[in-house]
Amino acid sequence: MSKATTRMDNRRDYIQLLSKYATSTRTGTDPAFTLLGELIDAKLLTGSLVRDMAFRTLNVQVTGITVEGRLFLHRLQEEERQDRLLHKSLKYVPILIGYIAGLLSPLLTDLIKTLLN
């Protein structure tokens, strides 16, 4: 993933915000008003918004997380796990093992023949 794509992707921010409210039902304001406003509008968090005439979120009060919010959080966390390099590389392990076995098969055949003789 390029740095430009990473900057455009707010997945980690959403995970952090949803995780905060998944474990606690504290109310209060948060500096990430725009993201929290989107989550409340999408009915992933419960709470109230204060917006100006241009519909910019000025203040947010979060009262909790909804069932849909918990499911969304779980999906985002699963996507994060799948995006990690280790997870991506593990899907190529069987191909690599098959390739190495193909390279070693003549040697193994010769070894078996010498052991039987």
Segments making up each domain of the chain, as ranges: 3-83, 85-117
**What DSSP element (H or E) covers 22?**
helix 11-22
Give tens-digit pLDDT for 15-41: 888 887 666 444 444 457 888 888 999
pLDDT band for position 107 (cuts 50, 70, 90): confident
| Model confidence band, residue 5 (pLDDT cutoffs 50, 70, 90) | low
Q: Residue 93, Cα to own-chain centre: how many angstroms?
A: 22
Q: What is the mean pLDDT of residues 97-109?
A: 86
- What architecture does CATH give domain 3-83? Orthogonal Bundle (1.10)
How far is Cα 34 from Cα 54, in angstroms, rounded to an integer? 13
CA distance 27 to 63: 5
pLDDT digits (tens, 9 = 90+) for 60-92: 888 999 999 999 999 998 888 877 877 777 778
